[in-house]
Amino acid sequence: MSRLLTNIDPAPAGFELVELTKRDLLAQPVGVLVADIEDLSRVLDRYTERVLGIVITLGEAYRLEEKSALLWHVTIPPSWIAVVGALAQGWLRTIGSADRANQLLNASQLGTERLRRELELTRHDYNELTERLQSQVRELVAAKDALSSMNSQLEFRVTERTVPLERANMKLSLVVDNLKRTKDELGRLAEVVGLGSLVAGVAHELNTPIGTALTVTTTLADESRKLHAEFQGGVLKRSHVEHFLRAAEEMTALLERNIFVAADIVNRLKQLANDQATESPRHFKLHETVADTLKVMDSQLRELPYKIRLELDASIEMNSYPGAISLILTNLITNAIRHAFDGRKEGVVTIRTAMHDTNTVNLSIADDGNGIPASQIERVFHPFFSTKFGQGGSGLGLYVAYNKAKKILGGKLTVTSELHHGARFMLEMPRVAPQRDRSAVELAPATMPLRL
């Protein structure tokens, strides 16, 4: 129940007689009965902008005045003094509900704007990549047209050797088209706050095979132009043609291998994106979902000095939401490598799966890091709680994981920790996910106040 304070002696029923201080007025929401409303100005400068609640004064008739969206001034006749305590509690509950709704709206708008910026950056990167690939394809086509003017024997041999190159070009065009279609899927994927690191990891993974493919096509185009120049200048030798054909064969093979790698990465991403976007339950093996998630995160993990240890029960089969499980696992692993090992050059994160009983599955992520202070352990699942704001921490990763565990999987996510002895997050979930109520909205417990 909210506090009802007064500086009028004797205090009416339900009110606490105090000598008003700034701390009293900022303990929100608060109801204050004063003889003169100017008493608040003497206690707290600009109180109308900082106090959440209701100010009550005595007057000849009832009057209601809005000081701010969440602060109201009520004048009541002295005869109402006996019931004002009960009325004030109802007013304060209404104001408190309005404040909480305002906080949730502000948090939602902040998250939406952040996702919009991330999506815009991702779209720009993929558009730039697409333009570069199309430019290289056009250069390859031009080189092929130039070579077609050579004598029949040379044309036959070049055509025979460049068949693999044409197949590789077709596959490269398919990859470009696939990337365009994947952009929309990445947009939906980025709308989930915890998947920012997943998109970054996939982009990093794609950089190597596509970068190699670009280098190969550029080199092949240069060799084609040199050969064409020699042909037009009448200085073309058989050894030059044989050298070009050998190089073309090697480069097309390299190009084909890298295209296959890029296609495999895109297919893995599409699978995870489909699981996230459709949110339809399906049958799967838990250890395979864990392994697929670690493959997608490989680019983030391989350069770190920390180790991932797996203790997985390969017999666990589920009918649930693998996309939600993958997202929770991604956020928990990311949280561990960002926070658990500060000041340390080594550490181990252990991922363990086990059957709790015939219908319940346990998935735990434990580290041997620095642990979580007791003063923070109860707030780790609160939105926007982070010890690394401004250093890459958004304060939303564990909050998203908590709500996915409860709202999508029908389970619960808990944490235990001892300072200097690591932390352990436990996801307990039914083997068969319950039927979802899509209209239900779940929030993490005791969300932290956002009002300043």
Q: For 326-371, how does the pLDDT look when each residue is reduced to its tens digit (9 = 90+)?
A: 999 999 998 888 888 888 888 999 999 999 999 999 999 999 998 9
Q: Are strands 71-76 and 63-68 parallel, antiparallel or unpaired?
A: antiparallel
State pLDDT tens for residues 32-60. 889 888 888 888 888 888 888 889 998 88
Distance in angstroms (rounded) separating the CA atoms of residues 42 and 336:
49
Average pLDDT, the chain: 79
For residue 10 the two structure tokens come to: 């004797």
What SS3 state is found at 344?
Answer: coil
Please say whether the beta carbons of 342 and 388 come within 8 A: no
pLDDT confidence band for 389 (50 / 70 / 90): low
Q: Is 395 left (phi over 0), alpha (psi -120 to 50) or beta?
A: left
- Per DSSP, 214 falls in state H
Lowest pLDDT segment from 314-318, 336-340, 426-430: 336-340
- What's the distance, CA 195 to chain centroid? 3
Answer whether residue 88 shows pLDDT above 90.
no
- Give domain 282-430's CATH superfamily: Histidine kinase-like ATPase, C-terminal domain (3.30.565.10)
Contact at 8 Å (CB) between 422 and 367? Answer: yes
> What is the arrangement of strands in the sheet containing 423-430, beginning at the earlier edge strand?
307-311, 348-357, 360-367, 423-430, 412-417
**110-278 sits in which CATH class?**
mainly alpha
Which H helix or E strand runs over 84? Answer: helix 84-147
| Type of residue found at 298 | D
450: tokens are: 């956002």
DSSP state of 434: P
Residue 112 pLDDT: 72
Residue of higher predicted confidence among 60 and 85: 60
- Please list, in sequence order, all residues whose beta carbon lies within 8 angstroms of the beta carbon of residue 426, skipping any fewer than 6 positions away: 362, 363, 364, 413, 414, 415, 416
- Which tens digit of pLDDT belongs to each residue from 319-335? 999 989 999 999 999 88
Q: 439, 433, 414, 432: which is closest to 424 by C-alpha?
A: 414
Does residue 321 sit in helix, strand or coil? Answer: coil
Please report the pLDDT score of residue 452 as a whole number. 26
Query: Which residue type, as a one-letter code, is found at position 295?
Result: K
Q: What is the pLDDT of residue 179?
A: 66
Note the pLDDT of residue 35.
Answer: 86
Which pLDDT does position 185 carry in this prediction? 52
What are the residue boundaries of the structural domains of the chain, listed by start? 3-82, 110-278, 282-430
Look at residue 269 in the predicted model and tell me its pLDDT: 57
Please write the tens of the pLDDT for every residue from 142-198: 877 776 767 677 777 767 767 777 777 777 778 777 766 664 454 344 444 445 555
Is there a contact between 310 and 399 (Cβ–Cβ < 8 Å)?
no
Please indicate, yes or no, whether the overall pTM of this predicted structure exceeds 0.85.
no
**Across the chain, which distance is largest between two alpha carbons, in Å?**
113
